[in-house]
Amino acid sequence: MASGDPAKGEGKSAICGQCHGKNGISIVPIYPNLAGQKEQYLVLALQAYRSGERVNMAMTPHARKLTDEDIADLAAFYASMDPSGGGIKHTSKTN
Amino acid sequence: MASGDPAKGEGKSAICGQCHGKNGISIVPIYPNLAGQKEQYLVLALQAYRSGERVNMAMTPHARKLTDEDIADLAAFYASMDPSGGGIKHTSKTN
| Opening angle at CA B22, ends B18 and B26, nearest 5 | 65
Residue B33's Cα: distance from chain center in Å? 10
The matching CATH number, chosen from 1.25.40.420, 3.40.640.10, 1.20.1440.230, 1.10.760.10, for A8-79 is 1.10.760.10
Smallest Cα distance from A52 to chain B, Å: 12
* Amino acid letter for position A78: Y
Q: Select from B31, B33, B39 the Cβ nearest to the Cβ of A36.
A: B33
Cβ neighbours for B50, distance < 8 A, ≥ 6 positions apart = B63, B64, B66, B71
Segment B11-59, tens digit of pLDDT: 999 999 999 999 999 999 999 999 999 999 999 999 999 999 999 999 9
Q: Of B29, B21, B2, B41, which is closest to residue B88 (Cα–Cα)?
A: B21
CB contact under 8 A, B44 and A31: no
Q: What is the CATH number of domain B6-79?
A: 1.10.760.10
Question: Is this prediction's ipTM beyond 0.85?
Answer: yes
CB contact under 8 A, A83 and B26: no
Please indicate whether residue A95 or residue B54 has the higher confidence score (pLDDT). B54
Residues comprising chain A, all counted? 95
Q: Are A77 and A36 a contacting pair, CB within 8 Å?
A: no
DSSP annotation of B33 reads -
- What is the SS3 string spanning chain A? CCCCCHHHHHHCCHHHHHHHCCCCCCCCCCCCCCCCCCHHHHHHHHHHHHHCCCCCCCHHHHHCCCCHHHHHHHHHHHHCCECCCCECCCCCCCC
Cβ neighbours for B84, distance < 8 A, ≥ 6 positions apart = A36, A82, A83, A84, B35, B36
Segment A16-67, tens digit of pLDDT: 999 999 999 999 999 999 999 999 999 999 999 999 999 999 999 999 999 9
* Amino acid letter for position A49: Y
Segment A59-72, tens digit of pLDDT: 999 999 999 999 99
Cβ neighbours for B3, distance < 8 A, ≥ 6 positions apart = B39, B72, B76
Q: Which of A37, A43, A59, A82 to mutate against chain B (most B CBs within 10 Å)?
A: A37
Residue A39 CB neighbour total at 10 angstroms: 22
